[in-house]
Each structure stands twice: as structure tokens, then as C-alpha cells.
Amino acid sequence: MAALPMGYAGRTALGFGKRVGGRPAEVVAQEMQSRTADQVFRVLGELKGGAMKFGQAMSIFEAALPEEVAGPYRATLTKLQDAAPAMPASSVHAVLAENLGHDWRRRFAEFDDHPAAAASIGQVHRAVARDGRIVAVKIQYPGAGKALISDLNQLTRLARLFGTMVPGLDVKPLIAELKARVAEELDYLAESETQRDFAVAYEGDPDYLIPHVLAASPQVLVSEWLDGTSLAQVIRDGSREQRDHFGTLYLRFLLGGPARAGRLHADPHPGNFRAMPDGRLGVLDFGAAASLPDGLPPAMGELLRIAESDDAAGVMAGLRAEGFIKPGIEINPEDLLGYLEPLVEPARHESFHYSRHWLRGQYNRLNDPRARDFSIGMKLNLPPEYLLIHRVWLGCTGVLCQLDANVRTREELEAWVPGFAEPPDPEPSGT
């Protein structure tokens, strides 16, 4: 990571020299940004683990940045979603031998040493099983677990600093929850159980396709192969119909998973979703997940409904009750309601148009130090049980804005988020 600013400094000096030599400043700046973007991809991709996960998060939220800043990095960051630098074949074979035995090749009629996709914790290889089925073999990078835990330990050491900078946030239990979830993500046996739950819950569904797991070990996961087009490609060049259709299915899956499978798919970046030729949405990578056997928390829908009705006092009371505002922290209720508007606005309309323009406006408003909204984020807490829900909600919004999708969000919230629909009127008492 330290190489990034040094590399940028070198390119800046080079750019200055080229400008002195007569090249237009705009051309030099564009060239520098392109080279910096390439280095970002190489550094974050080769570091894997937490650094690459950070890059994947950046790839979702580039929609909030000004075009002149985000443009040069968009394609580079998108590559981090499913095309990171791969580990060598010798390392792949060593992991397979350790997890499947030294005769691992006997399990496959064919095995492609070149990865079909590579991400933060592991990479996927295409293979053909002995019975002729095409399968995806997901292999964890050697040392990925230690690297991620090391990243989290660094965050733990910085917890006191975070507490000083953000007085409303209780950091330690949040990091403890994050560590627990990361430990699950590193265990492919646990991931296989989550994927099986989703595959059974969505078996035969006309709108979704979840590949079944065929075999699993702690660092290797074999499942049915899933073709289709990455949602990242739909973001790049999809038609209006595709953007709206797959945007709707994407939101519905993330909201509906807890109700149907008892689990929340908690890794919403586009590389995990496939637009199938028959119109279904294929879903991959179930390592990051939250167990929600009773569905999403009813308080989540109730708070959203109260905020949508502009009841500032009710929102304040509800957030305090759920632990989003710690005792002793004071916030103006009306200012709080305004701060939450990006979460609420899509629910106010029959159909909402998610766009980069809208997200940039919200981002600029919330991050303007001169605005009242700026300090509110420093006063809010994130209860550990809402950590992955919060990640999914924000990530989903970022992806829908990248898709530029029109989605009937309110309808989906009423169907899948307990507490959001208006409660029925009480029956009149008899006489």
C-alpha cells in the first residue's frame, strides 16, 4: 500500500516534465490517472485479503464520486470484482492436494489450471467432474486467513482512535462481530452449508438460479458451474430493460433471502451475480452471510416506515431503542431525519430511479463540512447485529445506482421487510 503514493509522486514528476515539454495538461493528467489506476489494481489485487476487499468496496461506491475522479478508475476497480491477479498453478495444486488428497486429479475428468475468476480470498477454476458435469472449483489462497485476521487485528489496535474520532460509535463489539463473520467466510465448509440452504430454498424458482454444492473441505468448494453475464457487464453496457429487470431481481434477492432461506447474502458486489440468458438472476459466493432464521428484524421495517412518514421524534426514539444512538448522545430529531433521507427516499415513490447523479448529490450533502448533516454521522452507533445488514443495504444502493435502474422499491420493501407495510386497522369492537 505504501507504494501507491510513492508511485503517484513519481508519475506527477513525470507529468510535470511532459507539460514543460509542451504536452497538453489534460492529456498528461489522463495518462497519469490511467497509470495510477493500473497500479491500484495490481497492488490491491496482489495483496488480496482485506486490502482487496477494500478495493471491491471502492468499486461499488465509485458511483458516488464525481465523474472526473471516478471515470479513470471505474474499469480498474470493476476488475477487482472477478478478475484479480491469480496465484500460480503450483499453489493451486498444493491446496487441492492438502484438501482433497494427493490423488485429487482422479476426481475430475478435466481441470483448467487457469482461473476463470479470482477475488479477495480465493479463485475459481473450471473443471469437468467424472460424471461429465461442468463444475466450479473454488480454492482459497494460501495464507488468506492469516492475512485477513492480521488486517482485523490492526483495526482492533486502532479502535481507541476510532472512538475519539467518532464518539457515537462503539467500535470494539463491532470489530468483534466483524472478526466472527470473517472467520465464517474463511471456512468453506460453513459456506457450503449456507449455499445449500439457498439452493434448496430457491430450487425451481422462475427468477433465480443457485448452484448446488457437490463437495466441500475447509479450503476447497466444488459446486455446479454457472454461466451467464456478470452484473458488472450489465452495468457497463446493459439495455434499459436489462438494467431495470436485473436491478429489481437483485434487490428482491437481497431483501427476500432472510425470509426464504433464513440467511442474508452479505456480499453484494456485482461480480457475485449473473444475468442468465433466460432472464433469471444467478447468485454466487455465499461466504459472507448472516444467519437470520426469523427474517430481517421487524424494527428495521418499522423505523423505515416511521421515517417515511416524517415522524422525526418516532425515528429518534426507535433508533435509541435499537442501539443506534448511545445514551448521552444528543441529536436534533429533524436533522437526524434529514441525514437518513438517502435510505428513505427510494421508499417514498412507486418506482424509484437509482442513478449516479442522485447518489453523488446525497454523498456531497452528507460529506459537506459546512452542512449540519456532516456531524450527525459521527454521533451514530452501528449495533453489531446490524453490521452485515448495513453493509448489504449500502452496497445494494451503490450497485443499483451503477445500474441506473428503475425499481419498485416500496413494493419490494412491503413484501420482504417485516414492519414496513402499514399495520391493518383494528377491527371495530362489537356492541
- Residue 63 pLDDT: 63
Strand partners, 262: none
CA distances 180 to 276, 343, 350, 365, 384, Å, are 33, 27, 38, 34, 11
Domain ranges of the chain: 3-82, 85-118+121-225, 228-423
Question: How many CB atoms within 10 Å of residue 368?
Answer: 11
pLDDT at residue 292 is higher than 50: yes
- Residue 2 pLDDT: 40
C-alpha to C-alpha distance for 419 and 255, rounded to whole angstroms: 13
- Residue 222 pLDDT: 97
Burial 306-338 (b: 16+ CB within 10 A, else e): bbbeebbebbbebbeebbbbeeeeebeeeebbb
C-alpha to C-alpha distance for 193 and 218, rounded to whole angstroms: 12
- pLDDT, average across residues 240-251: 98
- pLDDT, average across residues 211-226: 96
Question: How many CB atoms within 10 Å of residue 86?
Answer: 18
The stretches of 271-324 forming alpha helices (DSSP H) are 298-308, 312-322
Which residues make Cβ contacts (< 8 Å) with residue 266, sequence separation at least 6?
181, 288, 289, 290, 388, 391, 392
C-alpha to C-alpha distance for 45 and 39, rounded to whole angstroms: 10
Mean of pLDDT over the chain: 81
Do the beta carbons of residue 234 and residue 275 sit within 8 Å?
Answer: yes
Question: How many CB atoms within 10 Å of residue 120?
Answer: 28
Do the beta carbons of residue 378 and residue 255 sit within 8 Å?
Answer: no
- Residue 72 pLDDT: 53
Do the beta carbons of residue 266 and residue 310 sit within 8 Å?
Answer: no
pLDDT at residue 68 is higher than 90: no
C-alpha to C-alpha distance for 104 and 92, rounded to whole angstroms: 11
The percentage of residues in the chain with a pLDDT greater than 90, rounded to a whole number, is 54
C-alpha to C-alpha distance for 95 and 140, rounded to whole angstroms: 8
pLDDT at residue 37 is higher than 70: no
For the chain, the residue count is 431
C-alpha to C-alpha distance for 38 and 34, rounded to whole angstroms: 6
DSSP H or E stretch at residue 126: strand 122-129
C-alpha to C-alpha distance for 2 and 302, rounded to whole angstroms: 45
pTM: 0.81
Strand ranges (DSSP E) for 292-391? Answer: 352-353
Phi, psi of 250, rounded to the nearest 5 degrees: -60, -50
C-alpha to C-alpha distance for 24 and 33, rounded to whole angstroms: 15
Burial 21-48 (b: 16+ CB within 10 A, else e): eeeeeeebeebbbebbbebbbbbbbebb
Range with the poorest average pLDDT among 252-256, 345-349, 373-377: 373-377
C-alpha to C-alpha distance for 118 and 98, rounded to whole angstroms: 20
pLDDT at residue 253 is higher than 90: yes
C-alpha to C-alpha distance for 286 and 385, rounded to whole angstroms: 18
- Tens digit of pLDDT for each residue in 323-366? 999 998 999 999 999 889 888 999 999 999 999 999 988 888 77
Reported confidence tier of residue 21, pLDDT bands at 50, 70, 90: very low
End-to-end CA distance of the chain: 75
pLDDT at residue 177 is higher than 90: no
Range with the poorest average pLDDT among 3-12, 258-267, 367-376: 3-12
pLDDT at residue 398 is higher than 70: yes
Long-range pairs of 128-133 with CB within 8 A, sequence gap ≥ 24 = 129/214, 129/222, 130/106, 133/214, 133/224, 133/225
- Residue 56 pLDDT: 52
C-alpha to C-alpha distance for 162 and 61, rounded to whole angstroms: 22
Q: 3-class DSSP state for residue 106?
A: helix
C-alpha to C-alpha distance for 283 and 270, rounded to whole angstroms: 10
The stretches of 62-170 forming alpha helices (DSSP H) are 67-82, 89-100, 144-157, 159-165
- Residue 100 pLDDT: 94
